Amino acid sequence: MAADFDTIVNLSKRRGFVFQSSEIYGGLRSAYDYGPLGTELLRNVKDQWWRSMVQLRDDVVGIDSAIIQAPAVWEASGHLSSFSDPLVECRSCNSRHRLDKLDDPDRCPTCGNAGTFTEPREFNLMFKTHMGPVETDENVVYLRPETAQGIFINFENVRRTARMKIPFGIAQIGKSFRNEITPGQFVFRTREFEQMEMEYFVHPDDAPRAFQEWVEARRDWYLDLGMSPENLQLRKHEPDELAHYAAEVYDVDYRFPWGWDELEGIANRTDFDLKAHMERSGEDLTFFDPETDQRFVPYVIEPAAGATRTTFAFLLDSYREEEVRGETRAVLALDPRLAPVKVAVLPLSKKPDLVDTTEKVAAQLRGRWQIEVDVTQSIGKRYRRQDEIGTPYCVTVDFDSLDDGQVTVRDRDTMNQDRIAIDRVGDYLADRLPG
User: Alpha-carbon distance 180 to 228, whole Å?
Assistant: 29
User: Alpha-carbon distance 83 to 400, whole Å?
Assistant: 65
Smallest separation, CB 112 to ligand ATP (Å): 25
> Which is closer to ligand ATP, CB of 150 or CB of 306?
306
- Inter-residue contact 314 to 41 (CB < 8 Å): yes
Q: What is the DSSP letter of 96?
A: E
Query: Residue 7: CB partners within 8 Å, gap ≥ 6?
Result: 319
Smallest separation, CB 381 to ligand ATP (Å): 35
Smallest separation, CB 251 to ligand ATP (Å): 7
> Which is closer to ligand ATP, CB of 107 or CB of 237?
237
> Which is closer to ligand ATP, CB of 83 or CB of 393?
83
Handedness of CA 162, 168, 171, 177 (dihedral sign): positive
User: Alpha-carbon distance 369 to 367, whole Å?
Assistant: 6
> Which is closer to ligand ATP, CB of 42 or CB of 407?
42
> Which is closer to ligand ATP, CB of 159 or CB of 309?
309
Smallest separation, CB 320 to ligand ATP (Å): 24
> Which is closer to ligand ATP, CB of 38 or CB of 306?
306
Give the total residue count for the chain: 435
Residue numbers of the site for ligand ATP (CB under 6 A)? 146, 178, 180, 189-190, 193, 195, 262-265, 304-306, 308-309
Taking CB atoms, the residue at the shortest distance from ligand ATP is: 306
Smallest separation, CB 185 to ligand ATP (Å): 9
Smallest separation, CB 353 to ligand ATP (Å): 49
The SS3 assignment for 281 reads: helix
Smallest separation, CB 392 to ligand ATP (Å): 27
> Which is closer to ligand ATP, CB of 304 or CB of 338?
304
Q: Count H helices, E strands: the chain?
A: 13, 23
Neighbours of 295 (CB within 10 A): 10
Query: Residue 249: CB partners within 8 Å, gap ≥ 6?
Result: 236, 237, 241, 242, 243, 265, 266, 267, 268
Helix crossing, 5-15 with 379-388: angle to 10°?
120
